[in-house]
Structure 1
Amino acid sequence: MKTTFAVSALVLTLSGCAVGPDFKRPALPENSGYSEGAHATQTPVAAGIAQHFNDNAAISADWWQLFQSPALNQLVKTALDNSPTIDAAHARFDQAQAVLDADYGALYPQVTANLGAQRQKPTSIRFGTIGTSNAYNLYSGSIGVSYAIDIFGYSRRALERDQASLTNQHMQLRAAQLTLTANVINSAFQIASLTAQIDATQAIIQNQQNLIGLAQQQYKAGLIANSDVLSLQSQIATTQALLPPLQQRLGQTRHLLATYLGATPANAQISEIHLSDFQLPVELPLSLPTDLVHQRPDILASEAQLTAANAQVGVSTAALYPHVSLNASFGQNSLKLASLFDPVNNLWSLAANLAQPIFDGGTLKAQQRQAQAAYRESLANYKLTLLNAFSQVADVLGALQHDAESLAIQQQAAQTAEQAGKLVDLRYQAGKASYIDLLNAQRQTQQSQLAVIQAQTQRLQDTAALFTALGGGWWSKP
């Protein structure tokens, strides 16, 4: 009895341990900021707006609603509901969940029931003599129980790996949703920008066509040379040549957006989108670097991969140790079905097995080294993901500063070009400026208008990029 108690206590004690390293999250970079020095608390004023950075402010899960565009909200919802990319990510998550659920069975006894019936006729030759043999029926029924005692944590490390793989797929799903949302928003901004550039170019062409009508009248009256008319016609042709590339890019962007929405270009039904439909968010959140590692899906997915690699080291280490299993069975055998369950036909067995690898040609050791090398690779990938994330946030913060500066400069340049154009037009009508001067002024006005549109679009896109770089706020909504 003492021996039995001691063995049982030893098994219970060993079953509580698991060989291999326990996972520890790598240390964060020492610098607590995203870039050198303290970051600015707000951007320069542009278009009457200065954006403010609020440290450690909460990020809404539906952050795109801050642009106050019902059309944009509907586009994002449609994409998240219908995108095949999201469906595939959901399916991968479900697969990882099923693998984890299946491997949980290793922690429990395995019970198997068997029922059999057979008819057979043995050979009549027995021990060198020829006798008689008759065919007979044999009926059997049994229940078997087997249980692998997880002394060294092989099964528990495998479950730890599977749980980390499930977390990885969960974060991959979140990353796919965040990437899709960012792509839809950027496409919407780009469509609005291209539409505005096309409208501005068409307005310029209309003004130039009005001028050429006046120039032709002046030419017939002998007031100007034919070369002035030809120069103006050349300028109109140059401006008109800008339209096909813009229209082509607009079509391609709409087709790309249709793909994000899970529809063909013919069935996407994308409404008209204009820059005036969007309001630039003024208050912008800025998470602390220590919080970023718990928010960004790509960092969390990389950490889960690192956890899984660490657990795999434990699995390969546990494979080097003994495997202990218990087996039991109970059943009946009978020549007659009616007497199958009579006590006289009972059969039972109890067995304990211990298997210890002794020689395998170095296979298990090599698998352990492979798992350790895979962990080092995952660790390097995790560090690289972390560095890229910090760099991306720093880039966006700098971009928002420069976007405001650029927009302010472009707006000033556009106002100056417009005023200069009006003065040149007055001078031309007074006969004090040539057509070349007028054409140059118009060209400068056109370029400045398009530059303002592009600067406005870039500011919107970089604002959305900040929310994306911070993780998108998925954790604030179940």
Structure 2
Amino acid sequence: MTRSLLLKPLCLAICLALTACASIGPRYDTPPVVDTPVAFKQGQGEWVRAAPADTLERGPWWQLFNDPVLSDLAARVEVSNQNVAAAAAAYAQARALVAQQRATLFPVVGLDASANRSGTRGGGTTTTTTSTGATVVTGSGGGSTRSSYQFDIGASWEPDVWGRLSRSVAGARAGEQASLADLAAARLAAQGEVAANYFGLREADAQRHLLSQTVAGYERVLQITNNRYNAGIAARTDVLQAQTQLANARADLLTVERQRAQLEHAIAVLVGQAPASFSLKAEPNWPITVPDVPLSVPSTLLQRRPDIASAERRVAQANEEIGIAQSAWFPSLRLSGSLGAGAASIGDLFSASSLVWALGASVAQTIFNAGATGAQVDAARAGFEEAVARYRQTVLTAFQNVEDQLAGVRVLSQQVTLREEASRAADLVEQQVLNRYQAGQVGFTEVVNAQATAQNARRALVQLQSDRQAAAVALIQSLGGGWTGLETTAGR
């Protein structure tokens, strides 16, 4: 009868805990509203989107450039780049935190067992049994020994009455998703940097090839000028000008070689290798491939950007912190129970007469803490507003990045035709002026000017072609990994 009276209030408390659970704090259903356009200013055409999301598979975007060396380097970033490895470890840590928070929803069970034997030294012995059941062996000289065994199994559980624990789990899960997005962002950034450095290296190869040809041409011009000078046709100043031009070209060649070495070292670090053990073969006639950018690029592609996804998940995590802070205004309930026994022998340890059980429930409520709880709630709300502001700024910056790169891709593609035309014309002028100089019709200063103009035109064309590839890589990064994996339909 007594046990029944004790169990009734405990069962009632458990039922109330299970049925009265209520989540305290604001709900989070959709990301904060950001005033965004339906299309990019620099884009063309009308479109409708399919269903983009940051978890959508983007595919190996670097294959758009049709370069097997670049594809190999980008794939090595996945497993060897240390920044990516650090982001992967942070994601694993976030996953473990989710499991840790989820464990708080379940009871904690503990087991404690002990065995002790004590005694004093003496002469002869007699064996007696005390009223507590312990066996005592007493010696004639006053010595005795005592044996005791005990075990206790207990459990405690805090019901999630106000949703504090479930919000902690939800916040940890949002943090895990944000860490996953950070991992994707780190991977995309490293792969984009590899591509940009690789294209810069190939540009250096092309520039070095052009400068080598220029140096060879200037050496021939110097020989011609020396011959004319020795024949008394040209002045000494012509020889000095030719020597100056040749020395400058050789210095420019060394500068390009230094730049190529630095780019090669940077690529080595990005793929997780020491620069001393990494090298890329020079390819002066490297074919330049620039992927075609779709005429209509939906602005909803930005939903695939990992930095936007991470910022949005941080907002959700900050929202859960508000509910966690507000739950401190309400009492917490804890249920506990235990079963144990103690005896002088192992055989008697599990007998019904030695078992002792206990059930309990406790409620705790803070009465006064000088406004600390309210301050925590205010801090959580301020943290939420900060996360919202960062999310909106991330979205706006993403639109700016895409607009910049779309404008760059469009303008650079138009400049290529003009640079090619300028380079062809400069080459013809250079040859004609050199022929007229050999015929004694013009001074050497005109030759120098024509050759400098032709060289600058050729190098500007190579630089522009590399810039087009760099702009394509930057656009792919701005769109969260390219435009593949989406089906866009032109609007009518």
Asked whether the two chains share a fold, i.e. TM above 0.5, the reply is yes
- Decide whether the 8 Å contact of 2:318 with 2:383 is kept in 1: yes
- Decide whether the 8 Å contact of 1:56 with 1:285 is kept in 2: no
2:359 alignment partner, SS class: strand
Q: Which amino acid aligns with 1:261?
A: V
Q: Say yes or no: does 1:253 pair with 2:251.
A: no
* Aligned mates of 2:296, 2:112 — CA distance in 1: 63
Q: What do the CA deviations read for 1:279-324 (whole angstroms, capped 9, x no partner)? A: 221243854223422x000000011111111111111111221111
Give 1:408 deviation, angstroms.
2.2
Among 216, 222, 229, which residue is 1:212 paired with? 222
How many pairs does the alignment contain?
453
* Aligned mates of 2:310, 2:262 — CA distance in 1: 32
Q: Say yes or no: does 1:21 pair with 2:31.
A: no
Taking the TM superposition and a 5 Å limit, the aligned residue runs for 1:144-293 are: 144-273=154-283, 276-284=286-294, 287-293=297-303
- Decide whether the 8 Å contact of 1:54 with 1:283 is kept in 2: no
2:329 alignment partner, SS class: coil
Q: Which amino acid aligns with 1:63?
A: W
Q: Say yes or no: does 1:454 pair with 2:463.
A: yes
Corresponding residue of 1:104: 102
* Aligned mates of 1:474, 1:405 — CA distance in 2: 22
**Structure 1 residues 296-305 or 100-109, which shifts more?**
100-109
Q: What do the CA deviations read for 1:339-362 (whole angstroms, capped 9, x no partner)? A: 111111001000011111112232
* Aligned mates of 2:376, 2:145 — CA distance in 1: 53
- Decide whether the 8 Å contact of 2:78 with 2:187 is kept in 1: yes
- Decide whether the 8 Å contact of 1:148 with 1:326 is kept in 2: yes
Among 363, 367, 381, which residue is 1:372 paired with? 381
Q: Which amino acid aligns with 2:243?
A: Q
Among 16, 34, 37, which residue is 1:31 paired with? 37
2:294 alignment partner, SS class: strand
Corresponding residue of 2:72: 74
> Residues 474 and 264 (structure 1 numbering): CA distance in 2 closer, same or farther, change over 3 Å?
farther
Q: Which amino acid aligns with 1:20?
A: G
**Structure 1 residues 420-429 or 338-347, which shifts more?**
420-429
Give 1:55 deviation, angstroms.
7.3
Corresponding residue of 2:415: 406
* Aligned mates of 2:232, 2:223 — CA distance in 1: 14
Taking the TM superposition and a 5 Å limit, the aligned residue runs for 1:48-63 are: 56=49, 60-63=58-61
> Residues 135 and 316 (structure 1 numbering): CA distance in 2 closer, same or farther, change over 3 Å?
farther
Among 149, 152, 168, which residue is 1:142 paired with? 152
Give 1:40 deviation, angstroms.
3.3
Corresponding residue of 1:126: none
Corresponding residue of 1:325: 334
2:72 alignment partner, SS class: helix
> Residues 13 and 375 (structure 1 numbering): CA distance in 2 closer, same or farther, change over 3 Å?
same
Taking the TM superposition and a 5 Å limit, the aligned residue runs for 1:419-434 are: 419-434=428-443
* Aligned mates of 1:460, 1:326 — CA distance in 2: 65
Q: What do the CA deviations read for 1:226-252 (whole angstroms, capped 9, x no partner)? A: 221111111111222212221111111
Corresponding residue of 2:489: none
* Aligned mates of 2:239, 2:356 — CA distance in 1: 111
- Decide whether the 8 Å contact of 2:341 with 2:355 is kept in 1: yes
> Residues 386 and 133 (structure 1 numbering): CA distance in 2 closer, same or farther, change over 3 Å?
farther
Q: What do the CA deviations read for 1:115-134 (whole angstroms, capped 9, x no partner)? A: 11235689xxxxxxxxx997
Among 87, 94, 103, which residue is 2:92 paired with? 94
Structure 2 length normalisation: TM-score? 0.86
2:173 alignment partner, SS class: helix
* Aligned mates of 1:268, 1:222 — CA distance in 2: 54
- Decide whether the 8 Å contact of 1:286 with 1:470 is kept in 2: no
Q: What do the CA deviations read for 1:117-155 (whole angstroms, capped 9, x no partner)? A: 235689xxxxxxxxx997633311121111111010010
1:34 alignment partner, SS class: coil
* Aligned mates of 2:484, 2:439 — CA distance in 1: 67
* Aligned mates of 1:333, 1:312 — CA distance in 2: 46
* Aligned mates of 1:151, 1:475 — CA distance in 2: 47
Among 15, 18, 37, which residue is 1:12 paired with? 18
Among 354, 367, 372, which residue is 1:363 paired with? 372
* Aligned mates of 2:193, 2:87 — CA distance in 1: 16
> Residues 120 and 156 (structure 1 numbering): CA distance in 2 closer, same or farther, change over 3 Å?
farther
Corresponding residue of 1:309: 318
Give 1:54 deviation, angstroms.
8.3
Structure 1 regions of 5+ residues with no counterpart?
42-52, 123-131
**Structure 1 residues 5-14 or 233-242, which shifts more?**
5-14
Give 1:276 deviation, angstroms.
2.8
Among 40, 46, 71, which residue is 2:44 paired with? 40
- Decide whether the 8 Å contact of 1:331 with 1:347 is kept in 2: yes
> Residues 12 and 323 (structure 1 numbering): CA distance in 2 closer, same or farther, change over 3 Å?
same
> Residues 81 and 277 (structure 1 numbering): CA distance in 2 closer, same or farther, change over 3 Å?
farther
Larger radius of gyration: 2
* Aligned mates of 2:285, 2:296 — CA distance in 1: 25
> Residues 430 and 55 (structure 1 numbering): CA distance in 2 closer, same or farther, change over 3 Å?
farther
- Decide whether the 8 Å contact of 1:21 with 1:313 is kept in 2: yes
Structure 1 length normalisation: TM-score? 0.89
**Structure 1 residues 279-288 or 298-307, which shifts more?**
279-288
Q: Say yes or no: does 1:298 pair with 2:307.
A: yes
Give 1:13 deviation, angstroms.
3.0
Structure 2 regions of 5+ residues with no counterpart?
121-141, 487-492
Corresponding residue of 1:45: none
* Aligned mates of 2:118, 2:378 — CA distance in 1: 53
* Aligned mates of 2:15, 2:484 — CA distance in 1: 44
Q: CA RMSD in A?
A: 2.6
